[in-house]
Structure 1
Amino acid sequence: MTKPDARKQLSNVWQAAFEDLMAMSESEIDAELRELDLDPATAAQKGKKAIEDGISQARASHRAQLREKMASARDHAMAPRDQAVSVELARQRIAQMQAANDGRLTLAARNRDPKNMSEEEVLDLYWQIEELNR
């Protein structure tokens, strides 16, 4: 049997220390801190502040990631519209999707007859669907 690597050994030490700490009562923790010449109240305040700071940093990082994603989506160019796509081709494609009960169509789009839609509506819906396919 091979010995675990250093990373696994360190993980085991941290896990054991955590389990020991969680098994201790508050008075036992206070006694341990006093043996280390630490004030339990000060240690508790520092611990609470460290947790609050960590949460704030994680939230700030998450917000930054979301802002980055939003900026990327905003800057993402729409698919070029091929002028060769005729209104009739778009109507046929929408009708095929309706017949297949395609989930990409909204309920309103599923219930409208493409023959009764204006050319602009048909093309707009067609290009929205094409954008979703990308």
Structure 2
Amino acid sequence: MWAVTTGTVEAIARIFDAKQREQLSGVVGSYEITRQAFTFNERRALTLLAVISLSLALINLFPFLPLDGGHILWSVIEKIRGKAVPFRVMEKAGVIGFMLVIFLFFIGLSNDIGRLTGGGFEAR
């Protein structure tokens, strides 16, 4: 579990490196690599599915408002402050968080499109 956690956080950090960014995949890439893994070894394919599921769960806990982690963060802030956070503040934080999520989605999508039109997907 710890290896998945650190790997997920490191993958997010690598987004800012152009070479490392190319390794990210979106939905299409995840499907294709999983499909290929099932042709090699079913047990490893199920392990891959478990790692993908854990990674998505961890990403969901990031403290950006559209995600569950963002709702947890704002609830804790309200509890500590003893009063509600102004709607304008939450709205701005939500827009920034949504933009970050969409940014991640488009990186994965653009990499998937590049692989579909270029060299294709290869399980390593």
State if a TM-score over 0.5 links the two structures: no
TM-score normalised by structure 2 residue count: 0.32
Larger C-alpha radius of gyration, 1 or 2?
Answer: 1
> Does 1 or 2 have the higher relative contact order (CA < 8 Å, sep 6+)?
2
